[in-house]
Chains A and B, each alone.
Chain A
């Protein structure tokens, strides 16, 4: 695991450095055209970037959670969810229990945030929580905790900020270049440097247009790689790749868009929140690997739940492709077996009954029936013309208030 994180880290550092250089170059151009002094622009770009990074570092998770309208929950609000998070926390060896948040939204999605493993949060939509069984929920939460454990969350936050700064600055500078260049070309025509200036100008404009696109591609490249590792880690934690696979299948089947997501926060989610729009676009512009492919890899893991097995499955799905997980990691993780589906999951009949009951309740409610619950758990359906204020529970002998 550590080798993988380290190998990823070097790759990420290179990519982040490229982005930083682009940011500084934009700053330089900015200064060059406004103040006739590149260093001043460089300084401005650095200051903006620094402030934004500070904000992201210290309150990025809060901003993200409140943007998503997530509510913090305790162990008694959603016992199953909280328990599953705790189970995965134990399986992943995280030192501290992450905060658990819930987003009241019919869309099916989940994300993790937090600047380091000791101050992390996971959030899940109610839509997802309702649709998943325990094994699937474990797979999803395992994926999110893997993002925390692998420190993807911090990296994605930092790169997101950098991307944002690049996009904003490039936008302003390209406006300045295009509209400001007419006046400037007249004033500088007196010298012999007119032609050189024009070349710099063109290079500048091209760069301003390309930089945000390039930065975005880098951002997506970082994020995609990490999705695979998080999937592999989730399989390793749960020892049950089918859980995540079937959860992803359910999620991808839903077309409800998450209202509170936006482009910059997209890579934080388990699945691209905008997949309905962008799925047919090429891989390079997607924050996540195609879902169908992720599912296929997970389902091909017949021989175990180790990283080595995930890698084998990956190469089976991509014939001739390079492995996604380094050899050193595969060695350290060792061989691990799969487990059976948890017995709780054979509850399809129970689900059917509860669904039937739900429909029945809706029908009754439409007819002005009132549904009250006794302290022993029995539900009573009271017709609209029921005269007494209380009803005698035949199961436990207690009295249930009707009104």
Chain B
């Protein structure tokens, strides 16, 4: 009868290993999600920092575009206010800001002098790239959230997930329909 004890101990040890493995996998995915979120944050911060420079360069040329300029400023302020909030709320504010910037750059098309300005061209490259980085970091974040959520809900790991109370990740969706179709930034 002695070896029954050993078999049970063996099974328990194997189970323990499986649980530890699943748990570590979940933690790794959760960290990936966190890291991806931090990446979005870095890029959004960059966009905040670029805007004052851009406004400074553009202001002199665009005296008659008060509305467009104000829209950007307001959207920036709004985005800053919700910078501590969750993915849903931030998505909304950032969508507005992206759309406002897109409009601003579209308007810039009408000012040939502005487009010849080296400073503006450099800012434009930075802004284009920052928009791309934001969307790529959002893409990576959403992919990570998808992987994490799948793991939480799929059979063996869902037990471990509920045991240790892993919460589903929230997707970073952009709510504004204008942003969905990407700000039309045309530099012709």
Which residues of A are interface residues toward B (Cβ below 8 A)?
79-80, 83-84, 86-88, 90-93, 134, 237, 239, 332, 334, 336, 339-340, 342-344, 346-347, 349-350, 376-378, 395
Taking the closest CB of chain A, its distance from the CB of B72, in whole angstroms, is: 18
B135 → chain A closest CB, angstroms = 8
Chain A residues within an 8 Å CB radius of B59: none
What is the minimal beta-carbon distance from B169 to any residue of chain A, in angstroms? 14
Q: Are B32 and A93 in contact (CB under 8 A)?
A: yes
A-B Cβ contacts below 8 A, count: 75
B187 within 8 A of A: yes
**In the bound complex, do residue A93 and residue B36 qualify as a contact, i.e. CB atoms below 8 Å apart?**
yes
Closest chain-A Cβ to B160's Cβ sits at a distance in Å of: 18
Contact B117 A376 (CB under 8 A): yes
Contact A343:B185 (CB < 8 A) given known A90-B39, A93-B36, A334-B146: yes
Q: Does B125 touch A at the CB level, under 8 Å?
A: yes
Q: How far is the CA of A91 from the CA of B129 in the complex (A)?
A: 13
Known: A344-B128, A376-B117. A93 touches B188 (CB 8 A): no
Quick check: is B68 within 8 A (CB to CB) of the other chain? no
Flag if B116 contacts A90 (CB, 8 Å). no
Give A79 to B127 CA distance when docked, in angstroms: 12
In the complex, which residue of chain A has the Cβ closest to the Cβ of B32?
A: A93
Contact A93 B144 (CB under 8 A): yes
B125 touches A347 (CB 8 A): no
Contact with A along B106-128 (1 / 0, CB 8 A): 00000001001110011001101
Some 27 contacts from A to B, beta carbons below 8 A apart, are A79-B125, A83-B125, A83-B128, A87-B129, A87-B132, A87-B136, A90-B39, A90-B43, A90-B133, A90-B140, A91-B136, A91-B137, A92-B140, A93-B32, A134-B128, A339-B182, A343-B182, A343-B187, A344-B186, A344-B187, A346-B186, A347-B188, A349-B188, A350-B187, A350-B188, A376-B116, A377-B118
Q: Which of B135-153 contact A (CB under 8 A)?
A: 136-137, 139-140, 143-144, 146-147, 150
CA distance A111 to B132 in the complex (A): 23
Main SS class of interface, A? helix
Please name all residues of chain A whose beta carbon is closer than 8 Å to the beta carbon of B128 when the two chains form the complex: 83, 134, 342, 344
Main secondary structure of the interface of B (DSSP, over half): helix
Chain A CB within 8 A of B34 CB: no
Interface residues on chain B, size class: 20 to 34
Mark out the residues of chain B between 28 and 50 whose CB falls within 8 Å of any chain A CB in the assembled complex.
32, 36, 39, 43
Asked if B43 and A343 sit within 8 Å, CB to CB, the answer is no
Which residues of the partner chain A approach B133 to less than 8 Å between Cβ atoms? Answer: 83, 86-87, 90
Q: What is the CA–CA distance of A372 and B24 in the complex, to the nearest angstrom?
A: 62
CB-CB under 8 A for A344 and B118, given A93-B36, A239-B139: no
Residues of B within 8 A of A84 (CB): 129
- The distance from the CB of A3 to the nearest CB of chain B, in whole angstroms, is 12
Query: In whole angstroms, how far apart are the Cα atoms of A134 and B128 in the complex?
Result: 10
Closest to A82 in B: B129
Chain B residue nearest to A331 (CB atoms) is: B150
Please give 11 more A-B residue pairs, beta carbons under 8 A apart, in addition to A80-B125, A376-B116, A395-B116. Answer: A83-B132, A86-B129, A87-B132, A90-B43, A90-B136, A91-B140, A339-B182, A342-B132, A344-B186, A346-B186, A395-B113
Point out the residues of chain B lying under 8 angstroms from A83, CB to CB: 125-126, 128-129, 132-133
Q: How far is the CA of A336 from the CA of B187 in the complex (A)?
A: 28
Chain A residues lying within 8 Å of B116, measured Cβ to Cβ, are 376-378, 395
**B139/A377 in contact, CB under 8 A:** no
Please give me the residue from chain A that is nearest to B118 by CB atom: A377
Find chain B residues with CB under 8 A from A92 CB: 140
CB-based closest 9 A-B pairs: A83-B129, A91-B136, A377-B118, A90-B136, A87-B132, A90-B137, A343-B186, A93-B140, A377-B116
